[in-house]
């Protein structure tokens, strides 16, 4: 799953002065138009003005030189801003949220936190699980009632492993005003955690299994 191809997408520098203190990478759902998430990122940037945003696009191009695997792409964006993974927040919608959780829990990607909208927690969880970052979940539903039980089970499963986890269930789609408003509060918290991370410390290259 780490090798889903992504394109670079939309980039947003901090609206405040100076270099970025954190990086938020937004992973889309395949059904979400990229421009919609660009507008959401601009809205969030007002709440975290010293943060850079990257809204990645799931590439459908057949040109092998256009898309990149996600892991190396994240490394590249961190290196370009002289940040290490402690300054990274992974944020995803739908399939993108599921991928963010997978990277965090199953691929041992370190970051400051994960914020996942309408995502699925892949089971079973690894037997040995050492995650020291925060996970925030927002359960939403485009059609029908929200599955509160699944959210409670996911939060309990992660919290039971010692992971700082919280979540909220909301009626309506993941891109509703209510969901984005709650997401803003979670994002401010995760970015504050990221800003306490290391700057000018680039972690060494990792080998990614194919």
DSSP single-letter state for residue 172: B
- Please tell me the chain's helix, strand, coil percentages from 3-state DSSP, rounded to the nearest 5: 30, 25, 45
Q: What is the mean pLDDT of residues 36-59?
A: 91
pTM of the model: 0.87
How far is CA 23 from each of CA 66, 111, 175, 190, rounded to the nearest angstrom?
22, 10, 21, 11
Q: What pLDDT band is residue 34 in, cutting at 50, 70 and 90?
A: low
Classify 45 in phi/psi space as left (phi over 0), alpha (psi -120 to 50) or beta.
Answer: alpha
Q: What is the mean pLDDT of residues 83-95?
A: 95
Q: Are 26 and 94 in contact (CB under 8 A)?
A: no
Domains and CATH numbers, the chain: 5-195 (3.40.50.1820)
Mean pLDDT computed over every residue of the chain = 85
Do strands 68-69 and 5-12 pair parallel, antiparallel, or not at all (unpaired)? antiparallel
């Amino acid at each position: 799953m780490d090798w889903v191809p992504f394109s670079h997408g939309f980039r947003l520098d901090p609206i405040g002065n100076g270099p970025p203190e954190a990086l938020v990478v937004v992973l889309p759902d395949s059904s979400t138009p990229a421009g919609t998430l660009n507008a959401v990122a601009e809205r969030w940037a007002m709440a975290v003005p010293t943060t850079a945003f990257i809204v990645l696009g799931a590439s459908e191009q057949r040109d092998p030189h256009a898309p990149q695997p996600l892991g190396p792409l994240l490394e590249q964006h961190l290196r370009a801003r002289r940040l290490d993974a402690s300054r990274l927040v992974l944020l995803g919608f739908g399939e993108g949220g599921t991928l963010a959780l997978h990277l965090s829990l199953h691929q041992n990607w370190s970051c400051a936190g994960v914020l996942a909208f309408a995502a699925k927690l892949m089971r079973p969880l690894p037997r040995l699980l050492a995650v020291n970052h925060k996970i925030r979940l927002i359960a939403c539903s485009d059609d029908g009632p929200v599955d509160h039980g699944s959210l409670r089970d996911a939060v309990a499963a992660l919290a039971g492993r010692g992971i700082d986890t919280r979540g909220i269930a909301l009626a309506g789609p993941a891109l509703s005003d209510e969901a984005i408003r709650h997401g803003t509060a979670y994002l401010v918290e995760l970015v504050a955690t990221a800003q306490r991370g290391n700057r000018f410390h680039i972690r060494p290259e990792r080998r990614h299994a194919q």
